[in-house]
Chains A and B, each alone.
Chain A
Amino acid sequence: MKSFTFERVDSPAAATMAFTRTPGARFIAGGTNLLDLMKLEIETPGHLIDVSRLGLDKIEPTSDGGVRIGAMVRNTDLAADARIRRDYGLIARALVAGASGQLRNKATTAGNLLQRTRCPYFYDTNQPCNKRKPGSGCAAIAGFSRNHAIVGASDACIATHPSDMAVAMQVLDAAVETVDAAGETRSIGLADLYRAPGNTPQLETVLAPGELITAVTLPKPIGGTHIYHKVRDRASYAFALISVGVVVQRDGSGRVALGGVGYKPWRARSADAELPRGAKAATAVLLADAKATHENAYKLPLVERTLASVLAQAKG
């Protein structure tokens, strides 16, 4: 870990200002992803801005009947919140399917969205990896790729986004609120937060340097049956091979998003429209452009079968 200077700030404005003041700075929230990567010198900030005590730890109703989740709400608290459990059960389900109790006690809402891939070659600084070292190549494509992407990938990178929570938020049309150094705020649909790898897999989101996530907003509850099925070899404390999050209404209509298949939670409105026709039809849309490696081709049938199972459960 490279040495760094450290400061704690107590307001979003102070955070973004600190960022402009100190080149090479990074925000740190729970630290459960950033520190992991700093120990391996995959991340090497020269200055850390502790944003964990900004007062962004509330879950509040919004004027349009939805809810605003402070960026620093811990995963445990979000999953335990009565309103989230009642109205946005998918998020609670996805959260408790992720990481471990200890990690969820530290991990924050913003940090969870911005966690980086778990590609093992990304994690090994001796290996080629375009995401870590642009232009060095992608070791995963012809290597150990059992856990890698089948959609949205490029010849430069086939990494997946590991978050479970993001998959649920994607189903529920979440948006991310941010503030930048100039004090400008904006709201970005979660679907638009993540950038496709293309030739620049090192660029993962549309956030500008120093742009701080302050909250995640959810529109008003949509009811329905919420099911999150995370598929993994180990029964717990493991990242998803794939995951399927659905909200299914009584009339069979619904929404679906996939985790563990691409650089972001994978959702297509046209696939939602196919849900009443069943898993096969919806999967055909979701995975229309899928491209698998020899090692992760199993994800193709797995997605369809898991979705079918989830839809059957939703029917009861």
Chain B
Amino acid sequence: MKFDTPATDNPIDQLKIIGKPTDRVDGPLKTSGTAPYAYERHDVVPNQAYGYVVGSAIAKGQIASMDLKEAKAAPGVLAVVTAASAGMLGKGDFNTAKLLGGPEIQHYHQAVALVVAESFEQARSAAALVRVQYTRSKGNFDLAKSLDGAIKPPASFGAEADSRFGDFDAAFASAPVKLDARYTTPDHSHAMMEPHASIASWDGDKLTLWTSNQMIAWSVGDVAKTLGIPKEKVRLVSPYIGGGFGGKLFVRSDAILAALGAKAAGRPVKVALQRPLIINNTTHRPATIQRIRLGATTDGKLTAIGHESWSGDLKGGGPETAVGQTRLLYAAPNRMTAMRLAVLDLPEGNAMRAPGEAPGLMALEIAIDEMAEKLGIDPVAFRILNDTQVDPEKPERPFSQRRLNECLTMGAEKFGWKDRSPKPGLTRDGRWLVGTGVAAAFRNNINEKSAARVRLDRNGMVIVETDMTDIGTGSYTIIAQTAAEMLGVPLTQVEVRLGDSLFPVSAGSGGQWGANSSTAGVYAACMKLRTAIIDKLRFDPADAVFDKGKVRSRGKSIALAKAAASGEIVAEDLMEYGDLGQKFQQSTFGAHFVEAAVDAATGEIRIRRMLAVCAAGRILNPKAARSQVIGAMTMGAGAALMEELAVDKRFGFFVNHDLAGYEVPVHADIPSQEVIFLDEVDPTTSPMKAKGVGELGICGVAAAVANAVYHATGIRVRNYPVTLDKLIDKLPDVA
């Protein structure tokens, strides 16, 4: 099915099941610990051995020699895999560095060996016996010192590195009110709770991987490419994923090493990346240095917007696209953006929840706050004043929906914004300085083609199969809701099977495209199934109605099960997209409001209230969507207040590489959170009329926190995370 004209009325609009807050269908499994994650599949294949990964001790250089004698002789050891023993390996299209290093080492903790043994304990202790001699070479680890050598990267995901509109330089130079400030965001780690893990099993030349992966089809391709085997020989199974946030978009070393280990040991092998290895072995959100220039008239109209961002990555990698949102968020007749990329020898940078927008808005939304203050205009009002309903760089292109102003106004109303004092540093509650902050949220909507297969079995059960994944997003539930709505059956009559490369290729989970795209694919398949059922029953397609487990037509009513009595009815289809996404700028919007308290003596910062108002198309399951947003707000709070991978610029690695060193928010950091969704449908996105929310929720949060800290203290911190050491010298004297 091709979606190339805006959606009109369709069965989804019945909203009997779609749009209702629905408990997750996988809830009982998850809450009882019986949902099977990759490393836990004792059930799928017998005789599993254990692999343990050895990571490189240096950031850049060569392996001079490797001594495996002791490791191989250790009790229980079945095999040791290294680049030297693995034979020719390719590199996946989505990987920048190799997943098994040697002799060349490209980053710290790059895998250099896998030790396979009978037990986990044996594999772990033998791994410590792998002796590696390295020759270090000089690496470049300091982004701030690499700005001069940074180059203009090629376009990525269709976005050019630079954009210009009007005459930024002249407009900025002549603007009566100006801001020119620098902001930094540090490297972030996904830190999902489930480590990357895989079980590999070979059957002749056929490989099956039970793994934890967000993008099945991409990863089948990359496994095949890396191992040099045909795609048809690779099966990936990933029904439950213990969090990904972009860190499991791609094949990682656990999968490749499990496959190589299983080959070498001649039996199935399972590998989970050990936690202290994950941060340097896998990908991270790259740090940025950003310069923002804003020019405005004295009455608060932006006349010039300039945003430049520098980031680094390994050779062959890409930039953190932190200026993307600035091309679309506010009106101004003169604009420029630019991204520059430095080569760094730190571990591979790549997508993490809302890549680009998350760090971009961390900077931009502080800048907007600063500018509002300079102008003496309330920051909510200032944003509203500079709204645009068209793509500011291509004014002929309207937004399909843009209700940012409503998000801001409604949020301000709910949050009690009008009582806020415009001056910072004035509210005190005992030991605490209290302030509030606001930021806009913006994230583009993306539609990806997505296929599904739907079966109606003899018992009237509707079974949906697609390689879509559920990374905590609630895919199982919204797909079940979609099929139930389309076929007029209760949720309990739908079974959803996900995350298997034997199923039709879906959009997968990334870029907040998953919910709308994958359900649209299921919609297409269900449409086909409806036709097949109608045909089978010889009903009139013009008046057939699917309702309450039955199909009705011209006064006749037949149970679905009956239709399949003589055999299962199967339909498969793919949803593809025309150019509506080009004609219209499709984006999601929101507003974040935060109240923060700062200990006047110590500078400790604690968040007291958080509110998000989102406009993101039809919300398919308000319960799970709300969870997506509160989860994203939590991650945003982490980015604001604590998350930073500390770079050792001498040895070239992230030093705080475990969950004690890399702090992410805990329960005590997060207050009760409130989320409001505007009632919205966007007929230009798909028959579901939905968009994404999972990433929108993180966009802008950190800036709202930083702005609240500023409002509490009068101290402006432009380098994230906002921690007490950056406040301590400027806080008021303690009596």
B-binding residues in A (CB < 8 A): 1-3, 39-41, 118, 120-121, 123-124, 126-127, 139, 142-144, 146, 229, 231-239, 241, 279, 298, 301-302, 305-306, 308-309, 312-313
The 10 closest A-B CB pairs, nearest first, are: A309-B601, A298-B725, A126-B57, A235-B668, A236-B668, A308-B734, A144-B655, A144-B646, A305-B601, A233-B642
Q: Which residues of B contact A41 (CB under 8 A)?
A: 125, 128
| Contact between chains at B601 and A308 (CB < 8 Å) | yes
Q: Is the contact region of chain A dominated by helix, strand, or loop, or is it mixed?
A: loop
CA distance A94 to B668 in the complex (A): 17
| Contact between chains at B606 and A309 (CB < 8 Å) | no
Task: Spot the interface stretch: B405-413, B656-664, B672-680.
Answer: B656-664
| Contact between chains at A298 and B724 (CB < 8 Å) | yes
B599 contacts the other chain (Cβ, under 8 Å)? Answer: yes
Q: Which residues of B contact A123 (CB under 8 A)?
A: 276, 658, 661
CA distance A142 to B649 in the complex (A): 10
Residue from B121, B276, B721, B735 within 8 A of A312 (CB atoms): B735
10 A-B pairs within 8 Å (CB atoms) are namely: A120-B656, A120-B661, A126-B57, A144-B655, A233-B604, A236-B666, A298-B728, A301-B729, A302-B602, A309-B600
B36 contacts the other chain (Cβ, under 8 Å)? Answer: no
| Contact between chains at A233 and B602 (CB < 8 Å) | no
Expressed in whole angstroms, the minimum distance between the Cβ of A39 and any Cβ of chain B is 7
| Contact between chains at A146 and B725 (CB < 8 Å) | yes
Q: Which residues of B contact A309 (CB under 8 A)?
A: 431, 599-602, 734
Q: Which residues of A contact B641 (CB under 8 A)?
A: 233-234
Expressed in whole angstroms, the minimum distance between the Cβ of B68 and any Cβ of chain A is 18
13 further A-B pairs in the complex, CB-CB below 8 A; given A118-B660, A143-B650: A1-B124, A120-B646, A123-B658, A139-B651, A144-B655, A144-B656, A231-B602, A235-B666, A237-B668, A302-B603, A305-B603, A305-B728, A313-B431
B549 contacts the other chain (Cβ, under 8 Å)? Answer: no
| Contact between chains at B728 and A312 (CB < 8 Å) | no
B648 contacts the other chain (Cβ, under 8 Å)? Answer: yes
CA distance A301 to B724 in the complex (A): 11
Q: Which residues of B contact A238 (CB under 8 A)?
A: 663, 666
Expressed in whole angstroms, the minimum distance between the Cβ of B193 and any Cβ of chain A is 14
- Most chain A beta-carbon neighbours within 10 Å: one of B75, B128, B602, B723: B602
Chain B interface residue count, Cβ-Cβ cutoff 8 angstroms: 43
Q: Which residues of B contact A146 (CB under 8 A)?
A: 646, 725
| Contact between chains at A120 and B642 (CB < 8 Å) | no
B180 contacts the other chain (Cβ, under 8 Å)? Answer: no
Q: Which residues of B contact A305 (CB under 8 A)?
A: 601-603, 728, 731, 734
Contact flag A312-B661 (CB < 8 Å), given A235-B606, A236-B667 = no
Q: Name the CB-closest residue of B to A233.
A: B642
- Most chain B beta-carbon neighbours within 10 Å: one of A39, A126, A313: A126
B398 contacts the other chain (Cβ, under 8 Å)? Answer: no
Expressed in whole angstroms, the minimum distance between the Cβ of A60 and any Cβ of chain B is 34
0/1 interface trace, chain B 665-691, chain A, CB 8 Å (1 if under):
111110000000000000000000000
Residue from B57, B75, B650, B729 within 8 A of A142 (CB atoms): B650
CA distance A235 to B666 in the complex (A): 7
Contact flag A312-B734 (CB < 8 Å), given A2-B125, A233-B724, A302-B728 = yes
| Contact between chains at B642 and A234 (CB < 8 Å) | yes
Expressed in whole angstroms, the minimum distance between the Cβ of B63 and any Cβ of chain A is 14
Q: Which residues of A contact B276 (CB under 8 A)?
A: 40, 123-124
Q: Which residues of B contact A2 (CB under 8 A)?
A: 125, 128
Q: For chain B, residues 82 to 102, give those with C-beta under 8 angstroms from any C-beta of chain A.
A: none
Q: Which residues of A contact B661 (CB under 8 A)?
A: 120, 123
Q: Name the CB-closest residue of B to A309.
A: B601
| Contact between chains at B724 and A239 (CB < 8 Å) | no
Residue from A121, A126, A229, A312 within 8 A of B602 (CB atoms): A229
CA distance A70 to B178 in the complex (A): 66
| Contact between chains at A239 and B660 (CB < 8 Å) | yes
Q: Which residues of B contact A39 (CB under 8 A)?
A: 124
Q: Name the CB-closest residue of B to A143.
A: B648
Expressed in whole angstroms, the minimum distance between the Cβ of B133 and any Cβ of chain A is 13
CA distance A247 to B627 in the complex (A): 44
Q: Name the CB-closest residue of B to A236.
A: B668
Q: Which residues of B contact A3 (CB under 8 A)?
A: 75, 121, 125
Q: For chain B, residues 712 to 735, give those with C-beta under 8 angstroms from any C-beta of chain A.
A: 721, 723-725, 728-729, 731, 734-735
Q: Name the CB-closest residue of A to B122.
A: A3
Q: Which residues of A contact B660 (CB under 8 A)?
A: 118, 239
Residue from B75, B600, B648, B724 within 8 A of A302 (CB atoms): B724
Contact flag A232-B731 (CB < 8 Å), given A120-B655, A144-B648 = no
| Contact between chains at B724 and A231 (CB < 8 Å) | yes
| Contact between chains at B669 and A235 (CB < 8 Å) | yes
CA distance A126 to B650 in the complex (A): 14
Q: Which residues of B contact A124 (CB under 8 A)?
A: 276, 655, 657
Q: Which residues of B contact A40 (CB under 8 A)?
A: 276
CA distance A202 to B723 in the complex (A): 32
Expressed in whole angstroms, the minimum distance between the Cβ of B53 and any Cβ of chain A is 14
Q: Name the CB-closest residue of B to A310.
A: B601
Q: For chain B, residues 591 to 622, give those with C-beta under 8 angstroms from any C-beta of chain A.
A: 599-604, 606
Q: Name the CB-closest residue of B to A239.
A: B660
| Contact between chains at B657 and A306 (CB < 8 Å) | no
Expressed in whole angstroms, the minimum distance between the Cβ of A296 and any Cβ of chain B is 8
CA distance A301 to B729 in the complex (A): 7
Expressed in whole angstroms, the minimum distance between the Cβ of A36 and any Cβ of chain B is 9
Contact flag A121-B655 (CB < 8 Å), given A143-B650, A146-B725, A234-B669 = yes
CA distance A241 to B124 in the complex (A): 33
- Most chain B beta-carbon neighbours within 10 Å: one of A124, A127, A143, A279: A124
Q: Which residues of B contact A239 (CB under 8 A)?
A: 660
CA distance A237 to B664 in the complex (A): 10
Q: Which residues of B contact A231 (CB under 8 A)?
A: 602, 604, 724
Q: Which residues of A contact B728 (CB under 8 A)?
A: 298, 301-302, 305
Q: Name the CB-closest residue of A to B725.
A: A298
| Contact between chains at A1 and B121 (CB < 8 Å) | yes
Expressed in whole angstroms, the minimum distance between the Cβ of A179 and any Cβ of chain B is 33
Q: Which residues of A contact B57 (CB under 8 A)?
A: 126
- Most chain B beta-carbon neighbours within 10 Å: one of A123, A139, A239, A313: A123
- Most chain A beta-carbon neighbours within 10 Å: one of B75, B721, B735: B735
Expressed in whole angstroms, the minimum distance between the Cβ of A45 and any Cβ of chain B is 13
Q: Name the CB-closest residue of A to B663.
A: A234
CA distance A301 to B124 in the complex (A): 44
Q: Name the CB-closest residue of B to A298.
A: B725
Q: Which residues of A contact B657 (CB under 8 A)?
A: 120, 124
Residue from B121, B601, B648, B663 within 8 A of A233 (CB atoms): B663
Expressed in whole angstroms, the minimum distance between the Cβ of A121 and any Cβ of chain B is 7
Expressed in whole angstroms, the minimum distance between the Cβ of B67 and any Cβ of chain A is 16
Q: Name the CB-closest residue of B to A121.
A: B655
Expressed in whole angstroms, the minimum distance between the Cβ of A158 and any Cβ of chain B is 14
Q: Name the CB-closest residue of A to B599.
A: A309
CA distance A144 to B646 in the complex (A): 7
Q: Name the CB-closest residue of A to B658.
A: A123
Q: Which residues of B contact A237 (CB under 8 A)?
A: 666, 668
Expressed in whole angstroms, the minimum distance between the Cβ of B507 and any Cβ of chain A is 35
Q: Name the CB-closest residue of B to A231.
A: B602
CA distance A124 to B735 in the complex (A): 42
Q: Which residues of B contact A229 (CB under 8 A)?
A: 602
Expressed in whole angstroms, the minimum distance between the Cβ of A72 and any Cβ of chain B is 25
Q: Which residues of A contact B75 (CB under 8 A)?
A: 3
Q: Which residues of B contact A144 (CB under 8 A)?
A: 646, 648, 655-656
CA distance A193 to B665 in the complex (A): 35
CA distance A241 to B663 in the complex (A): 13
Q: Which residues of B contact A139 (CB under 8 A)?
A: 648, 651
Q: Which residues of B contact A235 (CB under 8 A)?
A: 606, 666, 668-669
Q: Name the CB-closest residue of A to B659.
A: A237
Expressed in whole angstroms, the minimum distance between the Cβ of B653 and any Cβ of chain A is 8
CA distance A238 to B606 in the complex (A): 14
Q: Which residues of A contact B601 (CB under 8 A)?
A: 305-306, 308-309
| Contact between chains at B666 and A143 (CB < 8 Å) | no
